[in-house]
A and B are shown apart, each in its own frame.
Chain A
Amino acid sequence: MAILKVKKMQRLIGNKILVRSIVTFITVFLFNSCGKTYIEKSRDEYSPEDVDPIVFSVTGPLTVYQTDTRDYEIGYSRAGSSWSWSVEGAEIAGISEDTKRASVFFRDKPSNDTVYLTVSETTSGGVKSPDTVIKVKVIEFCVLEIQNFTGLFDCNESGYHTYQVNFRKDPVLSNTILNDNFWDWPGPGQVVRYTLSGDFLETVTVPKQTFIFGDGITGWVEGNGTYKGCSHTMVVDYTVFYDGNLYQTHHEFSPAVK
Chain B
Amino acid sequence: MSGAADAFNAQVLLAILAGVPVGLIGGLLPGVTGITTLALLIPFTFGMDPLPGLAFLLSAHAVIYTGGSVTAILFGIPGAPANAATVTDGHALARAGYAGRAIGAAVTASSLGGLFGFAVLIAMLPLVRAILTYVGSPEIFLMALLGLVFAAKIAGASPLKGLIAATLGLLLGAVGYQSSTAIPRFWFGVDTLLDGVGLVPLVTGLFAGPALLAMASRNSQLSGRPPKQIDFGQVIHGVLDVIKRPMLTIRAAMVGSGVGIVPGIGGDVAPFMAYAWLAGRQEGTSASEGEDTEQRIVGVIAPESSNNAKEGGALIPTLGFGVPGSAAMSVLLGSFAIFGLEPGPHFLIDHANIAIGLAFALALANTIGGALLLLLAVPLTRLIYLPMHILVPAILAFATLGVMSLRGSLVDLVVAGAFTVVGQCMVRYGYSRPAFILGFVLSPLIETYFQITMGTLGPAFVLRPISFVLCVLILWRLAGYLWWHLDRTERTP
Q: Do A and B come from one complex?
A: no
User: Which residues of chain A have a CB within 8 Å of any CB of chain B?
Assistant: none
User: Which residues of chain B have a CB within 8 Å of any CB of chain A?
Assistant: none
